[in-house]
Structure 1
Amino acid sequence: MSYLLPSEFAKKMVDAGEAKLKMATRDVLIRSYMAGAILTLAVAFAVTTAVQTGLPIVGALVFPVGFVLLNLLGFDLLTGVFALVPLALLDKRRGCTFKGMMKNWLLVGLGNLLGALTTALLVGIAWTFAFTTEPGAAGQAIAKAAEARTLGFAAHGGAGWLTVFVAGVLCNWMVSTGVVGAMLSNSVGGKVIAMWLPIAVFFGLVFEHAVVNMFLFPMGMLMGADITIADWLLWNEIPVILGNLVGGLVLTGGMLYATHYKTGAPTAEFSEKMN
């Protein structure tokens, strides 16, 4: 199992940020759409396994399958570009601008949303005989979670908003670490392990992920949750997006860039020992 040293994967992070920033609009939308669809299908899978076993930890252990698949297929999540794309600007890569970064984030967010909504609709149809029957246990669990993670925060006012923001920060600290994890190894097995671990941590601790929530709340409403779109946006999606931005940019991308980028290439002897 090959392992890349920090000074090696730090350069890959910046290169990836530049490549994503310069990607054609068509490709950004396709890749982000598929990322949103695959990740959120894994949410349905995780909730189902948690309900079937009665053990939420089981859901956390199986959820990373979606993240692993979308990354191996080269698709993009908003949480990932929050961590990587700004590095291209920090490194002053040619043609990388703040305007371009904002456009990239908007397109990726839009693609993720459309993919998540597609999955919500398809899973909703599959779980309710095209909305002609009441949802089963998994659907009811999602509806309850949607209410708890909007109205539950709203009940605490400003403290609730701050709490969900911090949960977003902590989430993308781990999720963007998973994005970097895909760069730690040149083998599929190494990539999978390095991605699986931090994603299981975020899901198991029930932190808040913007793209997961693009599925959770629309799906919850389809399953009967007594919330509105305004509840979802104000008491979850907006603070979560802001928290994910801070967590990915500051705690992952920024920290790794600050300490490992341009610190000198590893010696050939040391690299050989690590591989």
Structure 2
Amino acid sequence: MSYVDPPTFVTKMIDAGQSKVLMSTRDTVIRAFMAGAILALAAAFAVTITVQTGNPLLGALLFPVGFSLIYLMGFDLLTGVFTLVPLALLDKRPGVTWRSMLRNWGLVFLGNLLGALTVALMMAVVVTTGFSTGPDEVGARLGEIGHDRTVGYAEAGAGGMLTLFIRGVLCNWMVSTGVVAAMMSTSVPGKVMAMWMPIIIFFYMGFEHSVVNMFLFPIGLFLGADFTLGDYILWNELPTVLGNLVGGLTFVGLTLYATYARTGSKRDPAPSTTDDRSPAAV
């Protein structure tokens, strides 16, 4: 059977976290770059579908194609290493330290950002015909997303910041569930199907994903949207990154680790109340 039981896939999660920490700087950045670029293309694809059909559910249903490609090709997203790498540290795997974990997170963040920015610039060229015209319908929508999810939150003040953080938590709860779900199967169709379900939830619900936002907000700035780089960093990226860290690690990584890798002691069975002299005891 292609199904992998929870104790086994949790061990795979820890192994994956250790493997990512021990990867060379060169390979870490290349794989993170490609992950950021593919995810940005998937976001552009989903927004295009939504604009052209007027149906956001259809865009959400097809968006996970990007995540599936990223996982199957072994590339790394910040949201994934937030969940997996700390488990290797907690498990005291050789070579995994606080410093090496933070190094991995920093390199993956950099690679994701560079990949997403590259696609943002390319797509800005596409939707403006080489900056010779104003943004087309898809470009206009991309600019609106950046404005609504920065200035819109800023107008709400502390409530907006809290909302951003919680949306980041909920996002990586679902995204990391997708990463882990892909480990539940040894077949490609099984991996894709398991991953697809939670990713649809995150995208359709409009939760905040730090790497997706590395594409959505810079392209808005390239297209002249009505918000600033400071708005994006303060009123989206920073609280989103923090929320993604808390969501993936707390609700996925640590919960699975605690109950399958560090399973609590089993309770003793209740003493038998059967009378040894009864016929049942003979």
Q: TM-score range by the shorter chain?
A: over 0.9
Q: Indicate the residue corresponding to 2:133 in structure 1.
A: 133
The answer on 1:152 being equivalent to 2:152 is yes
Aligned partner of residue 184 in structure 2, secondary structure: coil
Q: Give a deviation string over 1:57-111, Cα, whole Å, max 9, x none.
A: 1111111000100110000000000000000011011111000000100000000
Instruction: Report how many aligned residue pairs link the two structures.
Output: 264
Cα distance in structure 1, aligned partners of 2:119 and 2:24 = 25
The alignment status of 1:81 with 2:84, answered yes or no, reads: no
> Contact between 1:7 and 1:263, CA under 8 Å: does it hold in 2?
no
Instruction: Tell me how far 1:262 sits from its aligned partner.
Output: 4.9
Q: What CA distance in whole angstroms lies between the structure 2 residues aligned with 1:101 and 1:37?
A: 23
In the other structure, the counterpart of 1:48 is 48
Q: CA deviation at 1:223?
A: 2.2
User: Which residue does 1:202 correspond to in 2?
Assistant: 202
Write the deviation string for residues 230-275 of structure 1: whole angstroms up to 9, x where unpaired.
00000000000000000011111011111111559xxxxxxxxxxx
In the TM superposition, 1:88-237 aligns within 5 A as: 88-237=88-237
- For the aligned residue pairs, the C-alpha RMSD in angstroms reads 1.0
- Name the residue aligned to 1:270: none
1:140 and 1:224 mapped to 2: Cα distance?
10
Q: Structure 1 stretch 196-205 or stretch 128-137: which is displaced more?
A: 128-137
Residues 169-210 of structure 1: per-residue CA shift (max 9 Å, x gap) = 000000011111121100000000011111010000000000
Partner of 2:267: none
Task: Tell which structure's C-alpha radius of gyration is larger.
Answer: 2
Q: Structure 1: which 5+ runs fail to align? A: 265-275
- TM-score (norm. length: structure 1): 0.94
Q: Which runs of 4+ in 1 moved over 4 A?
A: none
Which segment drifts farther, 159-168 or 119-128? 119-128
What is the distance in 2 between the residues matched to 1:231 and 1:217?
Answer: 10
Counterpart residue number, 2:19: 19
Q: Residue by residue, what CA displacement relative to the aligned partner does 1:29-53 show, whole Å, maximum 9, x if unpaired?
A: 0000000000010000000000111
Q: Aligned partners of 1:71, 1:92: CA distance in 2, in Å?
A: 25
TM score, norm. by length of structure 2 = 0.92
> Percent same amino acid at aligned positions?
61
Q: Which has the higher contact order (CA 8 A, sep 6+)?
A: 1
State the distance in 2 between where 1:243 and 1:262 align. 25
2:60 — aligned with what? 60
What are the ranges of 5 or more consecutive residues in structure 2 without an aligned counterpart?
A: 265-282
CA distance in 2, matches of 1:261, 1:2: 21
* Aligned residue number for residue 273 of structure 1: none
